[in-house]
Amino acid sequence: MRAVVITQNGGPDTLSITDAPIPEPAEGQVRIKVAYCALNPLDTHSRAGRIKWGVPPMPFISGYEYSGCVEKVGAGVDASMVGKRVASAGSWGGCAEFAVAPAKSLVHIPDGIDWILGTVYYTSTLTAWHMLHTMARMTAGDVVVVHSAAGAVGVMTTQIAKDIGGTVIGLVGSADKAAYAKSYGCDHVINEKDDPDWAKKVKELTGGRGADIIIDGNAGPTAPKNLQCLAPLGQVIYIGAMAGQAPDVNVSGLIAGSAAVRGFVMYHAMAKTKSAEFKEVHEKLMSGKWKFPLNPPIPLDHIVQAHDDFENRRTMGRTIFVIGGDL
């Protein structure tokens, strides 16, 4: 089968499509005929060697977020799963014609959701939902600052925050991204390239008070600016580090501002709610109240360019690769 096999850490140019054996499902696993695979940030992090946790030993097949039909089940798995449409996030191997994943980790794609949306809605939408509801406990009137507001998580965070009754300030890196974020409901958008002192701008937009919630997937050396524009009792939630690791936090500064700095992994929140949020998520997406930022699917052969575009912050919305297409 065709597959993108990671054999060494490096830049996007280390990626290539090669031939790999079709995997067999072990006990508790299923084999999936892959329909589509999304470009998840963890794909770029694992390829570059920026993360180690949760990454399989080399060689491994890239693709952390994908969809497909269950084709075969391993020992201990209900045979009725064969033929079911499923989405997988958390099991590598989606950048290939076939993949194996634990049956218990799969999400069934509802009939009202098509293949492409079914591939990508799960991680970004649930990440946004849980950050605001489960972790931040957002209420109407809160001000939310969203880094990378033109990305998939940023777009979904914006819409869910607006649904709760908040004000959203989006941070972006270009005029095109500013217009894109605005189209999904951002009340205010700050282009960091034109206005690098964005923390001061956030304070101005909030009448000097600051933000109640800041969602940051970039971190990096400018991360301390988050605390400069945080309202008393506010919180910064980090979900990634695309710009590199953030400097150590000044604990005395947290005390002085009654501020909180937190990290977030979606699965911990899902364990608490036991997936009760799926009903609302499915209803809002199928009704069109929440619109997922989908880009037209591209061939897997374009994976090098897609990784390069993502890491150089040229991407808006979510990139999706066609593997088998609609099955």
What would the pLDDT profile of 235-292 be if each residue is shown by its tens digit?
999 998 777 788 899 999 999 899 999 999 888 888 889 889 999 999 999 999 999 9
282, 114 Cβ separation under 8 angstroms: no
Inter-CA distances, 163 with 46, 141, 178, Å: 34, 11, 20
313 pLDDT band (50/70/90 cuts)? confident
DSSP annotation of 133: I
- How many domains, in total, are found in the chain? 2
The chain-wide mean pLDDT, for the chain, equals 94
Q: Evaluate whether residue 145 is within a structural domain.
A: yes
- Confidence class for position 220, pLDDT limits 50, 70, 90: confident
> Using the 8-state DSSP alphabet, how is residue 317 labeled?
B
For range 208-220, the mean pLDDT: 94
The answer on 78 and 45 residing in a single domain is yes
Residue-number span of the structural domain to which 230 is assigned: 123-270
Report the alpha-carbon distance of residue 40 to residue 47 in Å, rounded.
11
Contact between residue 123 and residue 146 where contact means Cβ atoms under 8 Å apart: no
Q: Is residue 282 situated within a structural domain?
A: no
Q: Are residues 102 and 133 in the same domain?
A: no
94 CB burial (10 A radius; 0-12, 13-18, 19+): buried
pLDDT of residue 271: 86
For residue 185, the model assigns a pLDDT of 97
Lowest mean pLDDT among 8-17, 49-58, 69-78, 297-306: 49-58
> Does residue 287 form part of some domain?
no
